[in-house]
Structure 1
Amino acid sequence: MKKIITTFGIFALTATLFIGSASAKSSEVIEFWNGNKTQVRQQYERQLLQAVLEASVKKHGNFTVNEDTQNLTNSEESAVFSDQRADVFVTVAGNPKLKSKDKILVARPLMQGLLGHRLLIVRKQDLPLFADIQTEKAFKELSIGIPEGWADASLFRHNGYNVVEGGTFDDIFDLLAAKEFDYVALGANEIEQAFESRAAKYEMFSIEPTTLLYYPFALVFYVHPDKPELANRLRDGLKAIDENGVAQRLFEQATGDLIERLGLPDRKLFRLQNPLLPKQLQNYRSPLAEQSDE
């Protein structure tokens, strides 16, 4: 598959060609893989990395980022640091594809854990069924469809859910239409775009309005094992943008009124455990989940 590479650097507000002077020659060149995700996540993670690197220029110097947005197979993703030559990418903490791989975890969760707030896409004819469900036991009698290789599959199985795993993200709505399973669960931050770009064309699906599944599902930076200096730079930059408010501003730009629009606080809530979390994040919980308990 042909790679699509976009380059950006210091002071760029969007992904664009970095044009520098002599200082560009000493810039740190960072290979950033940003594939296998929705466009809304790609944009947020691109802007976040940009902000993190800009916040660390004084201590760590200038930078140039080569962004690769190609989609990879499961085996290719597991070799993202070796065969694909990436320096950094964003994925869920504890991604099983990286389990046996050398890597550096930057254990500062991104996007306030919103990806772990899962909403459902269901067949319209089944909306009354989901609205009537009030217990976890009843919910587990239904089946969830998950693309092959997604970390969610082992997580849902660990919690006793009925999982049908197979196909790709492109296949999943064909399978839902064929009644191979009862629902698909996607992060609240990406479900609307996924629905519009992939599910709406079937005219038989709906975003289910009453149910929220929650599990601690942190997005994090993983860094090439030979790049500890880059990992330290990301830690410094993340701390800086947390303190100066840039991280919150980027989150609000990415989500807008999503939490209210999708009615997250008003939905019936089913909580799941996440056995995939690495030891550094065993006690992680989304601040949004904390707010919903207040």
Structure 2
Amino acid sequence: MCCLGLTAHAHDGPVTHLVFPRYFSILDTSKGFDWIVLQAVMERTSAKFGPFTLSASPEPVSIPRMLQELDRSDGVINIIARATQRDLEHQFQPIRIPIDRGLMGMRLLLVRKADLPRFASVRTLDDLRHMSAGQGKGWVDTSVLSAAGISVVESPRPGSLFGMLEAGRFDFFPRALDEAPREYDVIRKSHTDIVIEPTLMLRYPLPRYFFVRRNAEGDRLAERIKAGMEMMIKDGSLAALFHKHKGPLIERAEIRKRHVIELRNPMLPPETPLQRSELWYRP
């Protein structure tokens, strides 16, 4: 795949080459919001830190393969964007600014049409515990749902979860507020029994960060990315990008019409900047 961006060589320093993972997904994740933000951050810091290239991995990779690549000092992938957890922050270096302002922790439910009456009567976590959820293998949400007492069915191939839901292998597939409508638009014709449940939303703290290696290269990347994101927070350009790309999806979700069930995230690191209100989206 071609590069997303290459800065002008006005700076005499070395070129920083960034390669991010392409995922197995029904969506084109190579053009996702994570990388739009990273492109803007790198452009914003080019005067101080120098030119850069930004490109996707040649082939889609699984989550285990992605983590293996980042763990190797000679791995092709040298930056990822993931929902955080303690083990991940121990292994890699997080830039603790939520890319999506915490939207990943706001979950809409994909369900079977026939089950809409069942979900319409759900008002508490105890009610939800009578249902089972579907998740991809290795997703952080599995720990959150399991800790809440919800039965979870995992699949190593996330794309298969829609068919598994339709076949009755589990009862709901929780997707981030900005993922659910986009994925539904893709699968609605091939999985006609699946709909977005209109009355509920799960919410738990789940920041999505950029992660780099814990080495000298990673230290330089982390310094640059953090500096750029802080600049964009201060001047409002990061919030502007968020509203441009996420605003229509947030409106479509009609959050104010939904009953919110709060869950605890037992995997949330204590260093999570929950006190910085400017980093988080609150309806």
TM-score by length of structure 2 reads 0.88
2:203 equivalent in structure 1: 214
2:69 equivalent in structure 1: 80
Q: How far did 1:267 drift?
A: 0.4
1:110 equivalent in structure 2: 99
Is the CA contact 1:9–1:50 (under 8 Å) kept in the aligned structure 2?
A: no
Matched letter for residue 5 of structure 2: F
Query: Please, what is the CA RMSD of the aligned residues?
Result: 2.6
Q: How far did 1:120 drift?
A: 0.6
Q: Per the alignment, do residues 200 and 216 of structure 1 end up closer, same or farther by CA in structure 2, a change over 3 Å counting?
A: farther
Structure 1 consecutive aligned stretches of length 4 or more whose deviation exceeds 4 Å: 20-25, 284-290
1:27 equivalent in structure 2: 15
1:162 equivalent in structure 2: 151
Q: How far did 1:74 drift?
A: 3.5
Q: Per the alignment, do residues 39 and 287 of structure 1 end up closer, same or farther by CA in structure 2, a change over 3 Å counting?
A: farther
Instruction: Summarize deviations over 1:214-263 as a string: whole Å, max 9, x none.
Output: 01111101012222011000010000111122101111121133223211
Number of aligned residue pairs: give it: 278
Q: Give me the identity figure in percent.
A: 27
Matched letter for residue 86 of structure 1: I
Work out which of the residue numbers 190, 198, 213 in structure 1 matches 2:187. Answer: 198
Is the CA contact 1:145–1:184 (under 8 Å) kept in the aligned structure 2?
A: yes
Matched letter for residue 240 of structure 2: R
2:135 equivalent in structure 1: 146
Is the CA contact 2:9–2:51 (under 8 Å) kept in the aligned structure 1?
A: no
Instruction: Summarize deviations over 1:175-217 as a string: whole Å, max 9, x none.
Output: 1111111110000111111112234412111111000000111
Is the CA contact 2:19–2:77 (under 8 Å) kept in the aligned structure 1?
A: yes
Q: How far did 1:104 drift?
A: 1.0
Q: Per the alignment, do residues 248 and 177 of structure 1 end up closer, same or farther by CA in structure 2, a change over 3 Å counting?
A: same
Q: How far did 1:290 drift?
A: 7.0
Structure 2's unaligned 5+ residue stretches are none
Matched letter for residue 164 of structure 1: V
Structure 1's unaligned 5+ residue stretches are 11-19
**Structure-2 separation of matches of 1:285 and 1:254:** 22
Work out which of the residue numbers 60, 63, 67 in structure 2 matches 1:71. Answer: 60
**Structure-2 separation of matches of 1:54 and 1:201:** 40
**Structure-2 separation of matches of 1:172 and 1:233:** 37
Matched letter for residue 48 of structure 1: V
3-state DSSP of counterpart to 1:202? coil
Greater displacement, 250-259 / 122-131: 250-259
1:89 equivalent in structure 2: 80
Q: Per the alignment, do residues 56 and 87 of structure 1 end up closer, same or farther by CA in structure 2, a change over 3 Å counting?
A: same
